[in-house]
Chain A
Amino acid sequence: MKRIVIIVLTLFAVSQFVSAQISDSSLVYKKRVLESTEIDLLMSLYNQDGSHSPVNGGLGTEKLTNGTPTIVLSIPLNANDVLTIDAGISAYTSASSSNINPFWSAPSYYKNAGLTNITSASRGGGGNVITAPTGPITPTTYNTIGTPWLASTGASKSDILKAVHADYSHSTDSRNFIWGSNLSYSKEFDYTSYGFGGNVTRLFNDKNTEIGFKGTAFLDKWKPIYPTELREYKDYGVNFQSSGYFKGVKVYNQSGIASTSYLPSGFKEWDQTGRNSYTLSFFLSQILTPKFQAALFFDLVIQEGMLSTPYQRMYFSDKPNYYIGAISDIPNYTSPTNHRVYQLADAIEVLPNSRYKLPIGARMSYYLNEWFVLKGFYRYYIDNWGLKAHTFNVDLPVRFSQSFSLTPSYRFYLQNQIDYFAPFETHLSTEQYYTSDYDLSKFNSQQYSLALNYTDIFSKFRILSLGFKNANLKFSHYNRSDGLTANILSFGIKFVANGK
C-alpha cells in the first residue's frame, strides 16, 4: 500500500510540473480536455448477513464487512491527453471464508465465547463429544468442534485486495474522436488478476451522437485453497485420521457412531488454475431533445478456465454424512442453534470451464424541471449456464439549489437459477457439474438508496492548492429474497488542483 501511495504522490507531483511547463510554453490557446489535475478520494463501507454460505455447501453464516479506501488521479498530460491512475485496497472480514477451516479446538472456542470457568453443566463423554463443560477449561478436557453458523478463527477470515488501474486517453483536436488504453492489476492472497484493454469513441451530429467500442482482457490466476478436511485427505489419503491436522480426532457418522469410513473420493484438485475473461463492449448514446438523452450498452463476455471457487463445499444426497464435533448436535445440524458440529465435505463445487455472457442495457435521463430529473436503467442478461436476469433502476434527483441535490433510488433485480445449482445436500454425486452457491440460485432483490450530492461550481472552498469541486454521499439497503441483507455507505469527494 505504501508503494501505491508513493507512486500516486510522485505521479501527482510530476503532473503538476508537466502541467506548469506546458501552460508556460503554450503559445496558442486550445481548450484542454481536462483543465487541471483532479483527485477523487473515495471510500465505501459494506456489511452483509445471510444464511446460505457457499463455503458450507449452501448453509451457514454469510456475515461480511468490507472497507475500500481508493484514490483516483486524473492528470492532463497536455491539451489532448489524460492519464488516470486509480489505486485502492479492499479490506474484508468474512465469516463464510473463515470456514474454509471451520474447526476449533474446544478450549479456544469456549474461551472466545467467554466460558472459561463453568460450574453447572454436565461433562462431555470424552473424544469429540462436546457438551457444556464443568470446571475450568483445559486443553485436555475437550477436542475439536466446528459449526457453519459462526465465524471461525481461521487464517482465511480476512484479506486485503490491492488494486491499481491506469488509463490513458487521447482526444483529437476536434474532440470528435477519442482513443484510449488501460492496464490493471489486483492481488489478494489466493487470486491475482492482470488486465489490459483499449477503447475508441466517435462523436458526431454536433456531438449529439456518440458511439464507442471497448475491448478488455483479464488474465487471472487462482492459488487454490481447499476446505481443510479435503486438503488433509489430499495430503494423507485414507490415513488422514491418523496423520496431520486430524490426528486423534474422531469422525462420526449420521448415527453419532465413531467411524473411519469418511472417504471424499469425489474430490479432485484443479490442475488448471487460470481464469481468463474477455469483454467486447459497444455503446451508443444519443441526445433526443434539449432535455432528454438515452444510451444503449451491449457487452459480449467470454470467460474460460477455472470458473469454480475451490473452497466452496459440496454435500451429495447419495453419500453418507460424517461429522466432527458434538454428536448431540448432529440432528440439529442445519439449525442456526448448532454451534458445535461440522459436516465433512463430499467434494468441492464444479462448474463448466467456459461461460458466455450477453448483457444488453439502456439508460435514459430526462430533465423534468428545475426541481426534478428522472433517470432510468434497464438490463436484460442471458448466459450459456442457463441464467436469465432483468434489472430495473430508477433515480429521481431532487434539486434544492444550484449546489445541492438529494437522490432517492430504487432498484429491482430478478434472476432464475443456473442449470447447475441445487440447495444443500440435494445434488447427486453422479452429476457432472454442481454448486450450492445461492448467488447463482433463483431469487429477486430490491435496493433502496438515498444520495446527497454537493457541487461547488467555482471551487471556492480550498485546501492548500486544491479546490473543492463536488462530493457525494450515498446509503443503500439491499434485500435478497433468500434472506441475504446488505448495507453500503459510499462517499466520494473531488478536488481540482490549482482550481479557481
Chain B
Amino acid sequence: MKKKVLALLFTVVLLSSCIAVKEYKKIYLNDPDMKLAAHQNERFEGNFQVYREGASGANGGKTGGGCGCN
C-alpha cells in the first residue's frame, strides 16, 4: 500500500512539474473532442456497464445508489 501511495505522490509531483501551457496556446486542448469527460448521454452506457459487470468507479460515473438488479 505504501508503495502505491508513494507512486501516486511521485506521479503528482512529476505531472505538476510539466511546463505550463498558456491560455492562448490551449486551442487544441479546448477542442470539444479533447474533453477528458464523457458526453452527457454516455452516462446511460456507463449505467448499464455498472449493472452488467462486477467492477465500477474511477470513471466519474456511478458507484452506488440504486439496486441495479434487473
Q: Please determine whether A299 and B29 come into contact, CB atoms closer than 8 angstroms.
A: no
Q: Which of A48-71 contact B (CB under 8 A)?
A: 48, 64, 66, 68
Q: Which residues of A contact B45 (CB under 8 A)?
A: 44, 449, 474, 476, 488, 490
Our pick among B23, B33, B49 for the contact of A206 (Cβ within 8 Å) is B23
Task: Let me know if A387 and B29 touch, CB within 8 A.
Answer: no
Q: How far is the CB of A413 from chain B (nearest CB, A)?
A: 6
Binds B, one of A108-116, A138-146, A240-248, A285-293: A285-293
Interface residues of A in 268-308 (CB under 8 A from B): 275, 277-279, 281, 283-291, 293-299, 301, 303
Cross-chain contact B66 with A220 (CB below 8 angstroms): yes
- List of A residues within 8 angstroms of B63 by Cβ: 216, 277, 279, 281, 299, 301, 357
CA of A377 to CA of B42, assembled, Å: 14
A472 touches B70 (CB 8 A): no
Q: State whether the Cβ of A480 lies closer than 8 Å to any Cβ in chain B.
A: yes
Task: Please count how many residues in chain B sit with their CB below 8 Å of the partner chain's CB atoms.
Answer: 47
B42 to A474, Cβ gap below 8 A? yes
Q: How many residue pairs, one in A and one in B, have C-beta atoms under 8 Å apart?
A: 217
| Residues of chain B with a CB closer than 8 A to A161's CB | 66
Q: What separation, in Å, do the CA atoms of A342 and B11 have in the docked complex?
A: 56
Does A169 belong to the interface (CB within 8 Å)?
A: no
B36 in contact with A293 (CB, 8 Å): yes
Distance, CA A439 to CA B67, complexed state (A): 13
Contacts of A445 in B (CB 8 A): 52-53
Q: Is the CB of A284 within 8 A of B57?
A: no
Please determine whether B34 and A415 come into contact, CB atoms closer than 8 angstroms: no
Given that A365-B36, A474-B41, A490-B42 are known contacts, is A222 also in contact with B67, CB under 8 Å in the complex? yes
Range for the number of chain A residues in contact with chain B = 35 or more
Whether, in the assembled complex, B58 has its beta carbon less than 8 Å from a beta carbon of chain A, the answer is yes
B26 CB within 8 Å of chain A: yes
Given A309-B69, A365-B34, A373-B33, verify A286-B18 contact (CB < 8 Å).
yes
Which residues of A314-354 have CB atoms within 8 Å of chain B's CB atoms? none
- Bound complex: CA of A364 vs CA of B58, how far in Å? 14
Chain B residue at minimum C-beta to C-beta distance from A195: B65
Would A309 and B33 be within 8 Å (CB), given that A290-B28, A359-B56 are in contact? no
Chain A residues in contact with chain B, CB under 8 A?
Answer: 40, 42-44, 46, 48, 64, 66, 68, 72, 92, 94, 96-97, 159, 161, 163, 184, 186, 188, 190-191, 193, 195, 204-209, 211, 216, 218, 220, 222, 275, 277-279, 281, 283-291, 293-299, 301, 303, 309, 312, 357, 359-361, 363-365, 367, 373, 375, 377, 379, 381, 383, 387, 389, 391, 397, 399, 405, 407, 413, 415, 418, 439-440, 445, 449, 451, 453, 455, 470, 472, 474, 476, 478, 480, 484, 486, 488, 490-492, 494
